[in-house]
Amino acid sequence: QKEVEQDPGPLSVPEGAIVSLNCTYSNSAFQYFMWYRQYSRKGPELLMYTYSSGNKEDGRFTAQVDKSSKYISLFIRDSQPSDSATYLCAMSLRSSNTGKLIFGQGTTLQVKP
């Protein structure tokens, strides 16, 4: 079993839809939770960052962490064709001096006009 599991999709939605992307994890020591966005043939870029549990909102994006369920989510409101990309969740340990990240497999999202 992988430490971080993410449904690879692909996920196809119409423009304006609410998108929900999710990851589950097995290591309860993870404290830092991130979502990266990766456009085709580009490097990943940080989208959202959360420490420990709770919600964080940034414009149309909301990140949620439920540590009791070992489950994190990314919601995209009013999705746009420009949101079409692969979304990768990533996690790291609280005590990590090396900053090593454990990534999920990535979910490919297509938003159709």
In which residue are the tokens 């870029």 written? 45
Position 32, amino acid: Y
- Of 21, 25, 35, 44, the one binding another protein (CB under 8 A) is 44
Please tell me whether residue 6 binds another protein under the rule CB under 8 A: yes
Residue entry with tokens 């540590």: 67
Q: Does 98 bind another protein (CB under 8 A)?
A: yes
Q: Report if residue 77 touches another protein, rule: CB under 8 A.
A: no
**Cα–Cα dist 104/27, whole Å:** 13
The CB density around residue 54, as the number of other CB atoms within 10 Å, is 11
The verdict on 87 binding another protein (CB under 8 A) reads no
- Residue 104 lies near another protein (rule: CB under 8 A): yes
Contact 62, 56 (CB under 8 A): yes
Distance CA 94, CA 91 (A): 10
Among 15, 42, 53, 77, binds another protein (CB under 8 A): 42
Identify which range of 2-10, 53-61, 63-71, 77-85 contacts another protein by CB under 8 A.
2-10
Candidate residues 49, 60, 84, 110; the one interacting with another protein per rule CB under 8 A: 49
Is the peptide bond prior to 10 cis by the omega test (within 30 degrees of 0)? yes
List of residues contacting another protein (CB under 8 A): 4, 6, 8, 32, 34, 41-46, 49, 88, 90, 92, 96-101, 103-106
